[in-house]
Amino acid sequence: MLDSRSSVLAIDQGTTGTRALLYDRHGRIQGGGYQEFRQHFPHPGWVEHDALEILHSTERVIQKALSEARISPSKIAAIGITNQRETTVLWERKTGRPIAKAIVWQDRRTSELCSNLKKRGLEPYFQDRTGLVLDPYFSGTKIKWLLDTIPGLRRRAAKSDVLFGTIDSWLLWNLTGGKVHATDATNASRTLLLNLKRKAWDRDILKLLHIPSTILPEVHPSAFSYGKTSKLGPLNAGIPICSLVGDQQAALYGQGCYGPGEMKNTYGTGCFLVMNQGKTYKRPSKGLLGTLACDKEGKPVYALEGSVFITGAAIQWLRDGLKLIQKASDTEKIARSIKDSGGVIVVPAFTGLGAPYWKPNVRGAILGLTRGTKREHLIRATLESIAYQVTDVFQAMVEVTRRNPKFLKVDGGAARNNYLMQFQADLLGVPVLRSDMTESTAWGAAKLAGVQCGFWKDVKVIDRVRHYKKFGPKMRVRERLEKLESWKSAVKRLL
């Protein structure tokens, strides 16, 4: 039966849009679809999504992928799902209707709650158990906020009328017709509720945050037989769903970083540098996070992560907010059109600063403005801010692990920008390797699903489809150090 099925479907549900890609047995893309959806900003610092709109966008992009590939849904051997992490959805068990709009990972409404927990001296307690810092970024305080704020919701949750999930769980629930409420270890490790050492929900933290365990999904490895589809949109009933994985861990797996010390950076709405740490857990420091990733078979291993909140989103701000560019790709030509940024430094802390600073209340700033500052300087400085933030995290990771990586593998939409990749290599002082498959997130989810169902027998063989373009550092050491010092001085002014 499996031999007659020619494709693996990857659903890549991201922060600003949903993508579906179909892969053949050689790891080649047969067809794809992409659709953006609305971002809701009801109050300053709040970011929300409509979970039903996400579901409908998923159905539409799957249809687009099937149409482009000109294949029937009956040819799909398995489905892999990867998703924006931490984004929090609560829905009714009986009806499947969302109780409120999803609270996005970028949302900062629980800053005061996190601050109060820190004042009680609880941050080391959370860090030791979950590997995470107390920040509004993570799902746990978002759940508590919803339970505390929506009238009657806590009572309903206590009666098991309410379910929680990150976006993977929400899609899985709907794809299986409400039969399966589950998540994987990578997504669970981003909730602030999972005990990393035991790889299970932490009862003490649930009690501390007043979150009933009955609303939580079951936790499984990323490569796992989660269930089968019901008839939904363009999909037939009975298609196996064989992987769930958080987007950054999916990219790590997609890049083939299966062993300790291997690392990648994904340039998306934010930037996420992840290093595989193997099977031994070490409590993170220097503003880095402990999390779970996948080994070659899709089983949980530990990883170190640095999360930058605003990178690609800063380019969207140039396009949609300031109207300085028509499309993101314009930034490369504009950046090359001038000698330098004219002394302008942009710190895009629109939703606070993530790793290694973790300052949720800091806001963005533009420094170094003069009468000679032009549109081009602001665009180039915003583009360069992406590389500066990644360098902060890279340097912290090198210091913590005492490893000196020989290169950095990169992927994601902004990785297509050659100017940015060269500037990144110059700041890091090591080569940057860009995969010809920039959609590493979707590929990671597909590869996990294909390995789980036996579509691909040897993961190393299928990895050979990947090739890399190398960006070697060209900047002189003195110039690099001067630029980094200017950046660090700008950040310090905001802390």
* Residue 420: closest CA among 456, 391, 392, 440: 391
Beta strand 223-228 with 240-246: parallel, antiparallel or unpaired?
antiparallel
**What pLDDT is recorded for position 46?**
93
**What pLDDT is recorded for position 3?**
58
> To which H or E segment does residue 138 belong?
none
The residue among 382 and 45 whose pLDDT is bigger is 382
**What pLDDT is recorded for position 217?**
97
Return d(Cα 391, Cα 387) in angstroms, integer. 6
Residue 1 pLDDT exceeds 50: no
**What pLDDT is recorded for position 4?**
64
Residue 249 pLDDT exceeds 80: yes
Q: What is the pLDDT of residues 438-486, one digit of tens each?
A: 778 999 999 999 999 999 987 777 777 778 899 999 999 999 999 999 9
Residue 157 pLDDT exceeds 70: yes
Write out the two tokens for 232: 């939904």
DSSP 424-487: HHHHHTS-EEEES---HHHHHHHHHHHHHHTSSS-HHHHHTT--EEEE---S-HHHHHHHHHHH
Q: The sheet that has 17-23: what strands, in order across it?
A: 29-36, 17-23, 7-13, 76-83, 240-246, 223-228
Lowest mean pLDDT among 35-39, 224-228, 267-271, 436-440: 436-440
Residue 232 pLDDT exceeds 80: yes
> To which H or E segment does residue 463 belong?
helix 459-463
Residue 114 pLDDT grade (very low, low, confident, very high; cuts 50, 70, 90): very high
Query: Which amino acid is present at 328?
Result: A
Q: What is the pLDDT of residues 271-311, one digit of tens each?
A: 989 999 888 888 888 889 999 999 999 999 999 999 898 89
Q: How far is CA 35 from each of CA 10, 12, 153, 237, 369, rounded to the nearest angstrom? A: 15, 11, 32, 24, 37
What's the chain's average pLDDT? 92
Return d(Cα 63, Cα 150) in angstroms, integer. 36
Residues 192-213 have a mean pLDDT of 96
Return d(Cα 73, Cα 65) in angstroms, integer. 10
Residues 119-141 have a mean pLDDT of 93
Residue 76 pLDDT grade (very low, low, confident, very high; cuts 50, 70, 90): very high
Phi and psi torsions of 119, nearest 5° = -65, -25
CATH of 2-248, one of 3.90.105.10, 3.30.420.40, 3.40.50.12280, 3.20.20.70: 3.30.420.40
Beta strands in 45-95 (DSSP E): 48-49, 76-83, 89-92
Q: What is the pLDDT of residues 327-361, one digit of tens each?
A: 999 999 999 999 999 999 999 999 888 889 988 78
- Classify 306 as helix, strand or coil: strand
